Amino acid sequence: MSVPSVSVIRRGRERVRAAPWRGDGTVALITVTPEAPFLSADFVRHCLDTLAAQGFSRVVTGALSPLEQAGFLAAGFEVAERLQLLGMDLDGPLLELPAGPRLLRVPPRRWPEILEVDGAAFADFWRFDELALSAALQATP
């Protein structure tokens, strides 16, 4: 089976992006678009039907706020992981980093090395593929 690319599922004002999870053509990742309203359970079920017709047998989402979760939970999704949010009080002294190696942007030709380290560090479900690495680099500075 060929792995489908990123697609947009829309109905009215509701829409999501859908893509294979880590290149697995059986698991779809639904990403809520920031400009869309909170999704209804009916629309989430429509997305599930659409993705099933494309050959997916499982669907996951990224981290969702409690308000964003409502339509998914009503459509039968369950919370699989809880996101841990880290914080730091900027009123106190900041940690000074020791002199040493600097962080540099890695060119795409080096991505296979990054993906090799990622593959050794994480269980199959959490491992990045090229699509996930590209998305992460676009989402973060």
Look at the block and give the residue holding tokens 């989430």.
Answer: 44
CB 18 within 8 A of CB 46: no
pLDDT at 2: 46
pLDDT at 127: 82
pLDDT at 1: 39
Instruction: Tell me the pLDDT of the chain (141 aa) as tens digits.
Output: 344 477 899 999 999 999 898 878 899 999 888 777 799 999 999 999 999 999 999 999 988 888 999 999 999 999 988 877 778 778 877 777 677 777 778 888 999 999 999 999 988 777 888 877 887 777 666
Among 98, 99, 119, 130, smallest CA distance to 23 is for: 130
For the chain, give the longest Cα–Cα distance: 55
Q: Please, where are the H alpha helices in 4-129?
A: 41-53, 66-74, 111-121
